Chains A and B, each alone.
Chain A
Amino acid sequence: MLYKRKWPLLLFIVPGLLFMFVFLYIPFVENIKNSFFDMTAIIEMPGTKWKFIGLENYKKLFVDQDVKTAIFNSMKMMVLTVVFEVGIAFVLAVMVSQIKKLQQVFRTVYFFPVVISATAIGLLFKLFYNYDGGMLNQILEHFGKDAINWLSPELAFIMVCIPTLWSYIGFYFVILLTGLSDISDDIYEAASIDGCGHFKQVFHITLPLMKPVFFTCVTLALTGALKVFDLPWVMVPNGAPQGVTHFLGTYMYQVTFGLSNFDYGSTLAFLIVILGIVISRLVGLFTKEKEEGR
Chain B
Amino acid sequence: MKKKFLSLLLVGVMSTSLLAGCGSSKTNEASNTGDTNEGQVATTEDTSKKNPVTIKTVSMFGGTDPNAVVYEAVNEEFAKEYDYITIEDNSQSSDEDWKASVAADFAVGNEPDVIQFFTDATANTILATDKFVTLDEIRAEYPEYAQDTMDSALDAVTNPDGVKRAVPTTGYWEGLYCNKDLFDKYGVALPTDWDSFVTAINAFKENGIIPIACSLNNVPHYWVEYLMLYASGSENYTSVPDKAPAEWVKGLETFKTLRDMGAFPEDTDTVDDAYIGQLFRDKKAAMQLDGSWFAGGVTDTENTVVIAFPGIEEQKAEAGAMVGGISSGFYITKKAWEDPDKRDAAVKFVEAHTCKSAVQRYWEAGGAISKAAVQVDAIDGMTNLAYSALEYTNAATSINAPTDSRLGQEPYAIITSNIVKISTGAVSVEDVLNEALSLYAQRNE
Contact = CB atoms under 8 A, between A and B. Distances in A.
Given A236-B270, A241-B269, A241-B270, A45 B106 contact: yes
Contacts of B96: 257-258, 260
Given A42-B100, A258-B413, A242 B129 contact: no
Contacts of A40: 125, 128, 410, 443
A109 interface: no
Contact of B267 (A149, A237, A259): A149
B420 A132 contact: no
Interface in A23-77: 38, 40-48, 51
B218 interface: yes
A41 B420 contact: no
B417 interface: yes
Contacts of B106: 45
B270 A151 contact: yes
B284 interface: yes
A56 to B, nearest CB: 10
A260 B420 CA distance: 19
A131 B413 contact: no
Contacts of B99: 260
B409 A43 contact: no
Given A258-B96, A258-B413, A131 B103 contact: no
Nearest to A254: B417
Given A41-B125, A257-B100, A258-B3, A240 B420 contact: yes
B217 A131 contact: no
A237 B218 CA distance: 8
Contact of B103 (A43, A151, A152): A43
A95 to B, nearest CB: 36
A51 B442 contact: yes
A108 to B, nearest CB: 31
A156 B270 CA distance: 9
Contacts of B265: 131-132
Contact of A47 (B3, B101, B128): B128
Q: How large is the interface on A (under 10, 10 to 19, 20 to 34, 35 or more residues)?
A: 35 or more
A125 to B, nearest CB: 12
Interface in B254-279: 265-267, 269-271, 275, 279
A153 B271 CA distance: 13
A42 B104 contact: yes
Interface footprint category on B: 35 or more
A259 B407 CA distance: 13
A243 interface: yes
A237 B1 contact: yes
Say what secondary structure dominates the interface of chain A.
loop
Contact of A43 (B97, B107, B266, B414): B107
A238 B424 contact: no
| Residue with the highest number of chain A CB atoms closer than 10 Å, among B101, B104, B129, B217 | B217
Interface string B96-115: 11011101101110000000
B313 interface: no
A261 interface: yes
Contact of A260 (B108, B129, B410): B410
Contacts of B3: 237, 257-258
A207 B129 CA distance: 64
Contact of B269 (A41, A42, A47, A242): A242
Nearest to A43: B107
Interface string B79-103: 0000000000000000011011101
B377 interface: no
Interface in B1-35: 1, 3
Interface string A208-240: 000000000000000000000000011011101
A242 B426 contact: yes
Interface string B424-445: 1010000000000000001100
A151 B1 CA distance: 18
Contact of B129 (A46, A259, A261): A46
B125 A45 contact: yes
B413 A260 contact: yes
A131 B271 contact: yes
Nearest to A238: B217
Nearest to B417: A259
A266 B13 CA distance: 33
Given A237-B218, A259-B410, A46 B1 contact: no
A234 B2 CA distance: 10
A47 B131 CA distance: 11
B410 A45 contact: no
B103 A241 contact: no
B217 A241 contact: yes
A41 B413 CA distance: 14
Contacts of B413: 258-261
B103 A42 contact: yes
A47 B129 contact: yes
Given A40-B125, A42-B100, A44-B107, 18 more contacts: A41-B104, A41-B107, A43-B108, A45-B103, A45-B125, A48-B129, A237-B3, A237-B218, A238-B217, A238-B417, A241-B270, A242-B420, A242-B421, A258-B413, A258-B417, A259-B413, A259-B417, A260-B410
Interface of A: 38, 40-48, 51, 130-132, 149, 151-153, 156, 233-234, 236-238, 240-243, 253-254, 257-261
The 4 closest A-B pairs by CB, nearest first: A241-B269, A43-B107, A131-B267, A151-B270
10 contacts: A41-B107, A42-B101, A44-B107, A45-B107, A45-B126, A131-B265, A242-B421, A258-B3, A258-B417, A260-B96
Interface of B: 1, 3, 96-97, 99-101, 103-104, 106-108, 125-126, 128-130, 217-218, 265-267, 269-271, 275, 279, 284, 409-410, 413-414, 417, 420-421, 424, 426, 442-443
